[in-house]
Structure 1
Amino acid sequence: MNSDYQNFIPSKAIPFVQFLIDKHSFDLKIVNQRQTKHGDFRKLPNGRFQITVNNNLNKYQFLLTLVHEIAHHVTHQKFGRVQPHGKEWKTVFQHLMLPFLRPEIYPMEMLPHLANYFKNPKASTDADVNLSLVLRGNEAETGLNFIFEIPFGNLFVFKNTIYKRGNKRRTRFECLNMSNNKAYLFNQNVEVKQYHS
């Protein structure tokens, strides 16, 4: 088991992660960014288990994603085939994450958001807007903006399509797709590119 992962997580988390790796026996691969997921867990044809985590995540996102995937592995070992993000996984994920929810590992400003998320963890941390923003340090990737930073009525590009930012509806923004004239709802933590004609 290589120790490359140690550069990707907060240093105080290393002993806990090493314990989980030793105890649950899986191969960890750090891979290039994938648009649709931060990590995954699978059984390989040779019978071993593999967890992959994207290399573009910051250390807080990386640790959370890694433990999320280890929770899938442990759930699989304990319960066999169950709902991927069902009650068994939620319980295991909450339990595995407890030693990490400390100010030496996660900054104080993240802890309340993590505690709130772990009351009922979802398949993706991106579903929890406040947690997603605080995990990213409230900064979008270089060259991108969060949708809430785009002024009302301005155009932006998302997945090669131009949209016009509309009103905020409770938690999401209604935006007009300029090519098909349909309205779409965007979570406020979606990263988009400002449109310059």
Structure 2
Amino acid sequence: MRETLLAYIPENSAPLVEYLIKKYAINLKIVNERQTKHGDFRTFANGKTQITVNNNLNKYQFLLTLVHEIAHHVTYKKFGRVQPHGKEWKTVFQHLMIPFLRPDIYPNHILPLLANHFKNPKASTDSDPKLSLALKGNTAEIGKVFVFEIPEGSIFRYKKNTYKMGKRRRTRYECLNLSTQKVYLFNQNIEVSLIKNNL
């Protein structure tokens, strides 16, 4: 188990992760990238549960996502069916994550952002732009750019749809879907493919 885990998580986190997996009898499956989520927790009719985490995440993202999903598992076992990202889950997630908030696991520039995030953890780290960017190393995938890097008026593609870049609203951007003519708000750290730069 440890050899497999070490391909996906920071080395110094492995003993803690192994402990959690054994303690809570976690059924972990590492899967191919999914566009809409980094990981998930499922319960089956036979009472069994399963956690899946995307295999394309870097070590810091993978660890955070894994603990996020373990928190769902523990919350379900303790409280039954409750609000997915409600107060019970938040408390469990905070408790499980504290031992990982160390400089030999997460780099010093990420730790303050994590500490701030865990004051009130959100359903997704993608809704915390500064933390999400730091976890990605402030670098988009090859061939992609972050929404905040695109000039207004530029055309880009996201999930098979084409959009025109609009104005900024605090941490999000108005983007016009060119097929439906509907305006959507994009988080600044979403990665997209630039088609035409207006500059």
TM-score interval (norm. to shorter)? over 0.9
Distance 1:17 1:78 in 2: 19
User: What are the equivalent positions in structure 2 for 1:1-197 lying under 5 Å apart?
Assistant: 3-196=3-196
Q: Do the aligned partners of residues 133 and 188 (structure 1) sit closer, same or farther apart at CA in structure 2, a change above 3 Å counting?
A: same
Superposed CA offset, 1:158-193 (max 9, x none):
222222212211111112222333322211011111
Letter in 2 for 1:116: N
Distance 1:178 1:44 in 2: 40
Distance 1:121 1:54 in 2: 20
Is the 8 Å Cα contact of residues 41 and 52 (structure 2) preserved in structure 1?
yes
**Identical positions, percent:** 66
Superposed CA offset, 1:47-91 (max 9, x none):
332111110000000000100011111111111111111101100
Superposed CA offset, 1:118-169 (max 9, x none):
0111111111111111110011111111011112221111222222212211
Structure 1 residue 46, shift from structure 2 partner: 4.4
Secondary structure class of the residue paired with 2:7: helix
* Structure 2: tracts of 5 or more residues without a match: none
Structure 1 residue 43, shift from structure 2 partner: 2.6
Letter in 1 for 2:36: T
Is the 8 Å Cα contact of residues 8 and 59 (structure 2) preserved in structure 1?
yes
Q: TM-score with structure 2 length normalisation?
A: 0.93
Distance 1:23 1:143 in 2: 41
Secondary structure class of the residue paired with 1:8: coil
Distance 2:82 2:47 in 1: 19
Q: Which moved more, 1:44-53 or 1:159-168?
A: 44-53
Q: Do the aligned partners of residues 173 and 78 (structure 1) sit closer, same or farther apart at CA in structure 2, a change above 3 Å counting?
A: same
Distance 1:183 1:53 in 2: 31
The alignment of Structure 1 onto Structure 2 pairs a total of residues equal to 197
Letter in 2 for 1:106: Y
Is the 8 Å Cα contact of residues 155 and 165 (structure 1) preserved in structure 2?
yes
Distance 1:83 1:184 in 2: 26
Is the 8 Å Cα contact of residues 154 and 196 (structure 2) preserved in structure 1?
no
Is the 8 Å Cα contact of residues 5 and 30 (structure 1) preserved in structure 2?
no
* Structure 1: tracts of 5 or more residues without a match: none
Q: TM-score with structure 1 length normalisation?
A: 0.94
Superposed CA offset, 1:89-113 (max 9, x none):
1000000000000110000000111
